[in-house]
Structure 1
């Protein structure tokens, strides 16, 4: 029997760590049964080298997500094209960032899109996103909610290396401008004093990775290990080998949690707050501006318990099983 062809829509191709992990998740969970294809072939507008209706002729269904793709103040030219609705559409693992407010035209557009009869599956990654959607967008079908789908990804083995424990650090480029890393540096100095070594992990590849590498020089720590790789598996392993992590990137924290590694959140976005609520770890929620950041870290910072990790994985697995079943039946 010929495999169904599934078109993937998201921030795919730029090299952002979390978004490339979403593609890895779909390959693990769907590719044995379905043929997968990222729909956009360009990483700048118009994102497609051919007319979108022509691109859609190559697929039987569309999967949109994951990531913070429902932005209440605007509508992406890539994620929510009405042309997609000519095919069965499955929205999976998306979130709602609320820090920038909302605009009525964007909310109304999303209400119309998400209420279309060709929306066959609708899932968001946390309860807070589901509540916001139900209150403000009010789609025809309420979304289900679970956990970030990366928790369903099989991680590479990452036993702790011999020698000093590792504090992993993840920074990022933000608009080609350096961040004030004074408090992160102080955290690293404290860790060094406690006998840790510092591993600076660049969580990106391609365009994103190159920008993050350029910013990595802002964290001036003599003797630090710098990890750069085009492989998401290598980057996951580099996180898993750490004893603790401090991360400006959400999926650095997600992958750390999957390994049981506690990760101090340096960017307290909606999705990070929601994840810490799920994990019952408000002690890990901080920011690069927190002058008490070094005080939060010690060699006694508890790891993420197996029960928590198992719960998050089971929620993510349930989402992927539901998605696969919906794709079979469309």
Structure 2
């Protein structure tokens, strides 16, 4: 385990090895990185500086990356790890580039961490803006490590002891009562074509920074071994800390922007306030590892018996499982 670099209180710093500039956006989350052209040909010093900034600031932003297409987007992603396709939703390019398009029902106006319904959900998400509405369509991120750290000690102890069941099968219309019939059909026939149930610790220990982070979001179905009403109250209690404005950053997109976030230490929310205007973004995710709780217990897949491989590439967690040291 490596420890993330401390965040300097300075508004802007320059990395001495790569020369990139890092400008903080908020006190607890977010930074803008400038002085770099993203792609698969970056030198190791620049990649290390970017990765360190992601771990430290949780989400980082780049302006003016209009040169990126699906191929270059994926090539850059490979510098951070192994790209992984969505478990159920087909990609835009037949490989790893997932379409986050308004005309496909992808107005994710719910706080969530990407793909937590599988055990080894993505470590990083890399999102670039291709087509934007004339107004609205911002995205918010929250620092789930800061949310955990600010909990009163009795609540931290409670959270440390809990586990939660996550699923991609939830009451879609309860969350999005205004959803179109096309969006509802896409949800049932595509998003839940395989229905997953995974039990995660409510608090995971980050494998790189060592921080404790709250693992919740809209894929949480219930707290394990807790009655339904108490489960809802506990989820709301901890989720409320995640959504505190002090723990969040809001990004106003421009075409050519790229956002990269540590999916193990954040939640995000795509604001659905651009009416019927087009909003098209492309996302590449990087394979993650299986979370481990404070008690040392790993997440567990409850259903199906194993995570199937998507239409392209390996199954979620395959690359990190292969890299993990064998027991004993």
TM-score bracket, normalised by the shorter chain, equals under 0.3
- TM-score with structure 1 setting the length: 0.27
- TM-score with structure 2 setting the length: 0.28
Higher relative contact order (CA 8 A, sep 6+): 2
Larger helix percent: 1
Larger strand percent: 2
